Amino acid sequence: MSDIETLRAALQRLEGKPYPAYKDCAGRYAFPGFTLTVDHVQGDPFAEPSRVSVHLPLAKAGIPADLLATPSRALGVESHLARGFTALAARRSRPLGSGKGGLITMDGPLQEVMPSTAVQLREGFLEARFQVGLPARGRRAMGCAAAELLCDAVPELVAATLLYPNLDAAALGRAAAANEDADALRGALGPQGLAAFVADGAALPRRSGVDPRPLDGTPVPFASPQSLRVEIDLPNGGRVTGMGIPRGVTLIVGGGFHGKSTLLQALELGVYNHCPGDGRERVATDPSAVKIRAEDRRAVAGVDISPFIDDLPGGTDTRCFATQDASGSTSQAAGILEALEAGARVLLMDEDTSATNFMIRDQRMQELIAKEKEPITPFVDKVRQLWEQLGVSTILVMGGSGDYFEVADTVIAMDAYRPRDVTAEARAVAARHPGARRREGGERFGEVRPRRPDGRSLDPRRGHRAESVKSLGVKTVLFGTEEIDLTAVEQLVHPGQLRAVGAALLALRERADGATHVAELLDGVEQLVATGGLDALSPWPVGNLSGFRRFELAAALNRLRTLRLVS
């Protein structure tokens, strides 16, 4: 009897038995053309569904070698396959019996293309990991229905979504090419002195704040002003033109609802590649760009915020600032210094999500409140120092303060979603109406002081469990008994990233010996993933981890309320 018939018979014999009897079916089975592995069986119909994986030789999958010729192309293929498997499984599977029975699900990608454990191409094999809800009536196994799921529905899904002869070859080719082009585009930014690039014809608006798909209808296609237009040669797409945002200080200005924040949001997510048809496939941002915003009530652990805030009432030491309840200004200052510590070379900011008193202090307020009574040095007086002394660029949406005209290298005005280069006009306005405010904060930016976390303050214990780490959507990581609120970390886009960040915190904790700085700890985790893939973060195979950047891992570490430093 073949393995598939052995599994079918074993499942059918479980009909009506207590649900835990399903655990006898864990193991590996040779199916025609692939191997099916039941990695973990859920203990209850209402628990997380059972983890299942399939492995098939690339020769059996039939994917042409040219689509896998570079890591970029292979990742595009992986993402496309996962997207197809996820969509077809959602259409074909139906709830059956109690709990999550009957459902076949994969933690597939959204609009972004990033490494994932859902579908992987490696060492001559294609592996797909997904979940199957083994069906039950009450808490009794529906063995015959489970046999149909694993022995019939799964092979049909594999054939339809993972075997090249059954795929849309043109779409798969576009996925490989688009991802390779996106990596090449981002790689061209540095040599061209750019912080970001937006291609002509890009469609930036999204359907809503909770739906990242492109806006329905015919949104205004992006068109670069001639003065900022650059050309970049791509390996598949040939020569593309678009708006290059130079390194330095860039303002995005314009009236309300004209597309300022839409452009910035596209740049925020330009650190990731996007799937074909997204409209932002050729939007690329420096991979070290970090969105900074005010974040009232967040925790801050030993950050030197003295470049921005000093001489607080009560003598609080801002060179090692710590609080469990940060204000808008202290949180924004801490966010900048934490990003610099992690290696950010581009800061992205929007006045709508910034603390007003952190961004500007105008002449009238300077006259009313003397500097010795104001501990905050506004960002307008530090942004050029960031660029000139540290080489850190800033792209800032600013609609309410012309004082930034005097410190900007480039000014882009959005007019009905169309960009205009108004740098010369802004400088002329500044010359006609010279600002009377006095510069504050001295001639130097100040230090970015490295910090050394105490690993003992990263405690993942919860109850009797030595390590308890969970995530909730893209907002929260539960680390031990602590809840890490990542709502304001806007460059986290996929639940799988939070799961991976939570696991990475455990890896970081193991390296936090009290002598290692934050940047070195981030280096260590990056190297772990670069060497062993996302699987290096998990003790067993899972299909729900997605790629993350060091900056989002740092954000989670910095918001852990128990974090303590070694002095």
For residue 2, how far is the Cα from the chain centroid?
A: 44
- According to the model, what pLDDT value does residue 311 have? 82
- According to the model, what pLDDT value does residue 561 have? 97
For residue 375, how far is the Cα from the chain centroid?
A: 34
Task: Report the alpha-carbon distance of residue 312 to residue 331 in Å, rounded.
Answer: 14
CATH class as words, domain 190-448: alpha beta
Length of the chain as a residue count:
567
**How much is the average pLDDT of 358-377?**
91
Q: Provide the 3-class DSSP secondary structure of residue 12.
A: helix
**How much is the average pLDDT of 432-444?**
90
- In the numeric block, the tokens 């207590």 are attached to 18
- According to the model, what pLDDT value does residue 315 have? 78
| Burial of 111 (C-beta count, 10 Å sphere; 0-12/13-18/19+) | buried
Task: Report the alpha-carbon distance of residue 168 to residue 87 in Å, rounded.
Answer: 14
Q: Mind listing the pLDDT tens digit for each residue in 498-529?
A: 999 999 999 999 999 999 999 999 999 999 99
Q: Mind listing the pLDDT tens digit for each residue in 19-41?
A: 999 999 999 999 999 999 999 99
DSSP code string of 206-235: EEETTEEEEPSS-PPPP---GGGEEEEEET
Handedness of CA 412, 415, 420, 425 (dihedral sign): negative
User: 316: pLDDT confidence band, cut at 50, 70 and 90?
Assistant: confident
Judging by DSSP bridges, how do beta strands 249-253 and 393-397 pair with one another?
parallel
**Residue 313 scores a pLDDT above 90:** no
Q: Provide the 3-class DSSP secondary structure of residue 139.
A: coil
Task: Report the alpha-carbon distance of residue 241 to residue 434 in Å, rounded.
Answer: 36
Closest CA to 489 of 325, 353, 302: 353
Main-chain phi, psi angles of 67, to 5 degrees: -75, -15
**Residue 72 scores a pLDDT above 90:** yes
Within a 10 A sphere around the Cβ of 26, how many other Cβ atoms? 14
Q: In whole angstroms, how large is the CA radius of gyration of the chain?
A: 26
User: 399: pLDDT confidence band, cut at 50, 70 and 90?
Assistant: confident
**Residue 150 scores a pLDDT above 90:** yes
* H helix or E strand, kind and range, residue 172: helix 169-187
Spatial contact of 534 and 116, defined as CB atoms under 8 Å apart: yes
Spatial contact of 224 and 242, defined as CB atoms under 8 Å apart: yes
Cα separation values, 386 from 108, 448, 487, 489, Å: 39, 11, 26, 22
Which spans in 128-168 are helix H? Answer: 143-148, 154-162
**Residue 218 scores a pLDDT above 80:** no
Contacts of 448 (CB under 8 A, 6+ apart): 304, 337, 340, 341, 390
The structure tokens listed for 218 are: 């015919």
Of 50-54, 113-117, 208-212, 266-270, which range is least confident?
Answer: 208-212
Residues forming a β-bridge with 57: 125
Q: Mind listing the pLDDT tens digit for each residue in 319-346?
A: 999 999 999 999 999 999 999 999 999 9
**Residue 1 scores a pLDDT above 70:** no
Cα separation values, 414 from 247, 286, 395, 403, 428, Å: 19, 21, 14, 18, 18
Task: Report the alpha-carbon distance of residue 566 to residue 546 in Å, rounded.
Answer: 31
Which residue type occupies 176? A
- In the numeric block, the tokens 């040779």 are attached to 30
Closest CA to 262 of 207, 200, 196, 225: 207
Mean pLDDT of the chain: 95
Task: Report the alpha-carbon distance of residue 533 to residue 116 in Å, rounded.
Answer: 9
- According to the model, what pLDDT value does residue 510 have? 96
User: 413: pLDDT confidence band, cut at 50, 70 and 90?
Assistant: very high
**How much is the average pLDDT of 390-407?**
94
- According to the model, what pLDDT value does residue 24 have? 93
Q: Mind listing the pLDDT tens digit for each residue in 534-566?
A: 999 999 999 999 999 999 999 999 999 999 999
Task: Report the share of the chain in percent with pLDDT over 70.
Answer: 100
The structure tokens listed for 393 are: 């660029």
Task: Report the alpha-carbon distance of residue 558 to residue 338 in Å, rounded.
Answer: 8
The pTM score is: 0.95
The structure tokens listed for 258 are: 């004209």
User: 435: pLDDT confidence band, cut at 50, 70 and 90?
Assistant: confident
Task: Report the alpha-carbon distance of residue 388 to residue 408 in Å, rounded.
Answer: 12
Q: Mind listing the pLDDT tens digit for each residue in 261-302?
A: 999 999 999 999 999 999 999 999 999 999 999 999 999 999
Cα separation values, 152 from 11, 125, 149, 437, Å: 13, 22, 6, 74
**How much is the average pLDDT of 193-201?**
98
The structure tokens listed for 542 are: 């899972």
Task: Report the alpha-carbon distance of residue 434 to residue 315 in Å, rounded.
Answer: 36
For residue 133, how far is the Cα from the chain centroid?
A: 28
- According to the model, what pLDDT value does residue 210 have? 86
**Residue 194 scores a pLDDT above 70:** yes
Q: Where are the domains of the chain?
A: 3-167, 190-448, 455-558
Secondary structure of 494-555 as H, E, C letters: CHHHHHHHHHHHHHHHHHCECCCCHHHHHHHHHHHHHHHCHHHHCCCCCCCCECCCHHHHHH
**How much is the average pLDDT of 458-479?**
95
Task: Report the alpha-carbon distance of residue 181 to residue 11 in Å, rounded.
Answer: 47
**How much is the average pLDDT of 32-57?**
95
**How much is the average pLDDT of 93-118?**
95
